[in-house]
Structure 1
Amino acid sequence: MKIRRILATAVVAAVTTPVVLLTVTPALADAKPSAGSQVRAQQDERGKPSIEELEKAAEQAQKAYEEALAAQRAGQIVLEAALSDDAPLTVAAAAARKEAAAAATAKEDADKALTDAQAALAALPETATDEEKAAAEKAVADAGTVAASAGAAKTAADEKAATAGRVADDARVAAAREYSKVQKALKEALETKEAADKALADAKEEEPEEPNEPDCVFESKLTTVAHGLPSKIVAGSTTDFSVRVANGTNKTLDKVSPFVYFHATDKGGYNVIDDAFHLQWSTTASPGWKNVGDGYAGSISPLKAGAHADVKLRLKVDAKAPAGDGLAFVAGDYFNNDESCGGNLSTEYAFELLAAGSVPGDVDDAAPGKTTPTPDTKPQGGTSTTPANTTDGSLASTGSSSPLPQLAAAAGAALALGAVTVFTVRRRQTNSAS
């Protein structure tokens, strides 16, 4: 059950560093990284972008696309305005062409008038008077002046029209080029957006989904009791004992897994020596000795209503382990084929760890103590000799030189803080042997 993992650090850290209990409650939400976060961490280690990075890239690509789309729409408006007959430069070019056409007509009229005047002068009879000749010559001269002026006006108008037309054409070409640029930018932004969206979708598809797990429940009628666990254990020795799992419910439990974990410190209470304990399990159905994994000592499948089964356990303690005090936590979880699950709270068994070579003499079995959520992870760091007060959550000293009161007080404090979560805990399948 997840509570084995959630409260593991809470219980052990309460012994080693009781102040942790003041902030343990938020940690109860989930002490184990989600599958998604594990994959993202693995992706980061492999140099691949994480989901968060891909989401940020997709968001930025979407924003860039929207900006490019807005620019394209604005560019289209500019282009349409530049190509419109109502565009100022287009209107100016049209006016210049009209002026040029008028100037051309005026020049044609002036040229015709000059031609007519010249023809009238040439048509004078020999009998024409000097006054008639002078008038005809003056008409030619005047017509020539008008024609010359009309020609100059036409030239100027033509140049003005050409310039206006060129300016208008250049504006239209420039608008078309700018529109082409924003169209290209929009296309590239869309391609980038689609690529970012696809990369994100692919990464999410590859990411394992969080399992849709049922709620596990607290089951007080599932009991786990240690038998033959001595109250004194010598470093370097091998101790055989057993755990009896009893199903006091009125239904068959498809798979029941006993949970056993040893926690101890040296006599000073400053050094955690959990690593010195090595535990193996064996059952009638699986007689060979196998290492306990994740705290789970094999399983009984199934365990009928009212029935019980024994799991043999073999504890080996490193010879170099210092003398100290400890607790054995014993509990049980069940997992049914219909995916329902549950478990009990742990029972504490206090023991004294003797130095290698010690002769313990007559030794009684360790007596069961209170129940508490069980640790299943190995603590890190040092310890403190100040235990937690379980009544009000404050820190207080027991006045005892032995770490045993600290172990019990810490476990009780963890129980007070976290036992309620057993009713809402989510199932997490372990890699325990079956």
Structure 2
Amino acid sequence: MKIRRALATAVAAAVTAPVVLLSVTPAFADTKPAAQTQEKQSKPTIKDLEKAAAEAQKAYDKAVQAKADALLVLRETLEALDSTHPLAVAAAAAEQAAKDADTAKTTADKAVIAAKATLDALPADAPEDQKTDAATALSEAEATAATAATAKTAADTKAAEADEARDDARVAAARAYGVFGTAVDDALAAKIAADAALAKAIKEAEEEVDEGEDCEPENDLTAEVTGLPTKLVAGTTTAFSVRVTNGSDRRMDEVIAYVGVHATDKSGLKDTGKFFRLQWSSESSPKWKNVKDDYIDAVGALKPGARTDLKMRLTLDKATPAGNGVAFIAADFYNEDGSCGGTPGADMYEFDVKAAGSKPGKTEDAKPKPSKTTKPGGNGHTPQGSASATPATNGSLAATGSSSATTSIALAGGAAVVLGAAAVFVVRRRKAGADA
């Protein structure tokens, strides 16, 4: 069996900063260190990766617990803002004062009407002192009504200000909780990447038969997905394709593609990957085969400027819970002269998972994150061992709509509980649709 130096994903970042790791990157530096000691130090060992994976798991568990604790605080805060909180007490008092001022104004207005009616009812020959008294009573009633109107305006203003202050507190509480949700998202992304880095490093170690020279990153080797929609529905099969391109001016004797799919439910706490089945086929090997260990060995050799397309088929069991997922795509190569390398990074394609029977609505093809350093060009690339550059589709999943995924690997986005009708209303009205 030939030596295969598969891409070791995110090893350096997984060791140094697992919490902020958002994508998969190769285990080799952009430039080769001059000293052998520096080279060895720059490449983490399996023990290092095991430690990084454990730390990432610990950080994720801690983030999940912090989010749960924050949820309790949020609930208590929202309940207090409806009852015992000082802002709630102030708002209730201001509202009552506004009601009392309104009642006083209504009474004063009625008194004016009554005084005017009394004055108008006096006969023309009524005594002057009686007319004077009636006119004085009307004047006093109008003055009282004017004072009541001013008091009502002031009370209404205070009530509105008190209500707004309480609304602001609700929004602030919801925003504070959102920070913990983001922390869970980042920690989960780091955990997935660290686990993937460890698994791939172990696989490399098993396949390594000699030390050889270190693999080099190859910007001109690219792997690109087309036709993978941003929304998938449980109980359906989605077809897409992976195009591997040798944009360099040298032959690559053996090219291997990496396609890994990860997913969780909406809470981000439950891995739902067991409900997924990923298969591939090519023109040279048209029979559908299951993807094993996330590697596809059927690419073969690629001449300079050549490319090949792999047909992919992703099936979601009907029992797949709604949630979110990502597909990681990369490629690496090995030459008979011992040189080897791979794409500088593994691109991440996000997608939403809808429950069985759902309508995906408007969707679009998933876009890679981060963007490729170099993209395969259309000029001078000769299809090799490829059926078509256009991926097959099942139904309309690959052709309609746009993804609702809004965060990097948004596997834990979305609130776990209803925050209360008042808070939701405030957030939508005053934050113009921002995520609460």
> The TM-score by the shorter chain falls in which range?
0.3 to 0.5
Q: Which is higher, the Rg of structure 1 or of structure 2?
A: 1
Report the structure, 1 or 2, having the larger helix content: 1
Give me the TM-score of the superposition, normalised by structure 1.
0.41
Give me the TM-score of the superposition, normalised by structure 2.
0.41
